[in-house]
Amino acid sequence: MENKKRMVSGITATGTITLGNYIGAIKNFVELQDKFEMYIFVANLHAITSPIDKLKLKNNIKSMVALYFACGLDPKKVKIFIQSEVLEHTQLGWILTCNSTLGELNRMTQFKDKSTKVKSSNGTEFIPTGLLTYPLLMAADILLYDPDFVPVGKDQKQHIELTRNIAERMNSKYGEMFKIPGDYIAKIGSKIMDLQDPTKKMSKSSDNPKSYISLLDDLKEVEKKIKSAVTDSENIVKYDPEKKPGVSNLITIYSSIKNQTIEETESYFKDKDYGQFKNEVTKCVCDLISSIQENYNKLYDSKEVEQWLEEGANSARFIANKKLNKVMNLIGLNYKRK
């Protein structure tokens, strides 16, 4: 019997998927799906940590599901499901909440960044609690499935470290219950930067749509965004994230999509100027996006997708339920022995 290593990961349904999500996460899922047993979900519960319009949320979920498949995730190989359809996530999330401290949550840099944006109004009064506790739901998303690895972009590394700390602590307090997961971070593209401010991560929650590329952007729009991406005045295509963050970001995007090294990209563009460079980056991003969009349009309203999701949720539930029961028994929450 084959014994594949397991992976689990998810993307938050706060907007459509960006090129950063694709390169940092989905592209890896697709490449890994033959080698690993994979569980990939739409993190819809994570999308409500900050206020979000109801219709927007519904649309995001539907669109994200279709995009997963459109990007090449194969329902025969990967179990794809919607997080809230596996109730065990929230239940384990609560148990982990009771096994963690405010101190460790306060140290999460993502929380610090996001909460300072809200804080300016009035101390901590208006910071949504979910923003603080969300890494515990994420830890539950992971620990339910005993994965060997969690494929993510660099920004999630700290949350996975927290997950490991909690798992180790609970294993020694209550008895062995969780596998300690490793992170899986791609060598190229684990942090795609904002096109307008390449010192910041590309994010779908940015207020400026020119700063990110959505996989559902109109191709003309993509072209405009790449052409107006911030570079520098040197006109030399060289990778130097410190001194040339904008150009380095475009080199990373190009290398990742072309599946080649940074050095190969640098040498290819050695004698070309920024105009030619941006034209080629645009072409490679547009080729990728247009083929994804073609698949997406076929899948968006298809009945098949609903069927795949149901199968995915059933498989996920089977594993998650066994794990949750084990945890409940070890903690003493089940009074009947099972």
Residue 320 annotated as lining a ligand binding site: no
* Among 163-171, 197-205, 238-246, 274-282, the segment contacting ligand AMP (CB under 6 A): 197-205
Q: Answer yes or no: are the C-beta atoms of 189 and 31 closer than 8 Å.
A: no
Catalytic-role residue among 27, 79, 191, 201:
201
Six token digits for residue 298: 């076929």
* Sole binder of ligand AMP in the list 89, 164, 191, 323 (CB under 6 A): 191
Whose Cβ is closer to ligand AMP: residue 91's or residue 214's?
A: 214
Site for ligand TRP in 151-170 (CB under 6 A): 152, 156
Q: Answer yes or no: are the C-beta atoms of 24 and 152 closer than 8 Å.
A: yes
- Among ligand TRP, ligand AMP, none, what binds residue 188 when CB lies within 5 to 8 Å by partner kind? none
* Among 2-10, 222-230, 271-279, 283-291, the segment contacting ligand TRP (CB under 6 A): 2-10
156 scored as a contact of ligand AMP (CB under 6 A): yes
Residue that has been written with the tokens 């911030």 in this structure: 230
The CA–CA distances, whole Å, from 19 to 41, 81, 182, 254, 299 equal 18, 21, 24, 11, 20
255 scored as a contact of ligand AMP (CB under 6 A): no
The CA–CA distances, whole Å, from 127 to 93, 152, 204 equal 20, 26, 20
* Among 3-11, 121-129, 302-310, 327-335, the segment contacting ligand TRP (CB under 6 A): 3-11
93 scored as a contact of ligand TRP (CB under 6 A): no
Whose Cβ is closer to ligand AMP: residue 296's or residue 324's?
A: 296
Residue 129 annotated as lining a ligand binding site: no
58 is catalytic: no
* Sole binder of ligand TRP in the list 70, 138, 177, 213 (CB under 6 A): 138
81 DSSP assignment = E
Six token digits for residue 132: 């603080």
Catalytic-role residue among 27, 79, 114, 225:
114
Q: Answer yes or no: are the C-beta atoms of 103 and 60 closer than 8 Å.
A: no
Look at phi and psi of residue 206 and say left if phi exceeds 0, alpha if psi is from -120 to 50, else beta.
beta
Residue 316 CB, nearest approach to ligand TRP (Å): 12
Alpha helices in 228-302 (DSSP H): 245-258, 262-268, 274-299
Is 178 strand, coil or helix? coil
204 is catalytic: yes
- Among ligand TRP, ligand AMP, none, what binds residue 138 when CB lies within 5 to 8 Å by partner kind? ligand TRP
Q: Tell how many helices (H) and how many strands (E) occur in the chain.
A: 13, 5
191 is catalytic: no
- At residue 100's C-alpha, the angle toward residues 99 and 102, to 5°, is 145
- Among ligand AMP, ligand TRP, none, what binds residue 21 when CB lies within 5 to 8 Å by partner kind? ligand AMP
182 DSSP assignment = E
The CA–CA distances, whole Å, from 280 to 22, 98, 254, 275, 285 equal 19, 52, 8, 9, 9
23 scored as a contact of ligand TRP (CB under 6 A): no
Cα 272 from Cα 277, distance rounded (Å): 7
Print the binding letters for residues 31-60 with ligand TRP: x by CB under 6 A, - otherwise. Answer: ------------x--x--------------
219 DSSP assignment = H
- C-alpha 223, offset from chain centre: 24
- Among ligand TRP, ligand AMP, none, what binds residue 20 when CB lies within 5 to 8 Å by partner kind? ligand AMP
* Among 95-103, 117-125, 152-160, 225-233, the segment contacting ligand AMP (CB under 6 A): 152-160
**Feature table: binding site for L-tryptophan:** 141
Binding residues: 12-14, 20-21, 141, 153-155, 192, 201-205
Residues that are catalytic: 114, 201, 204
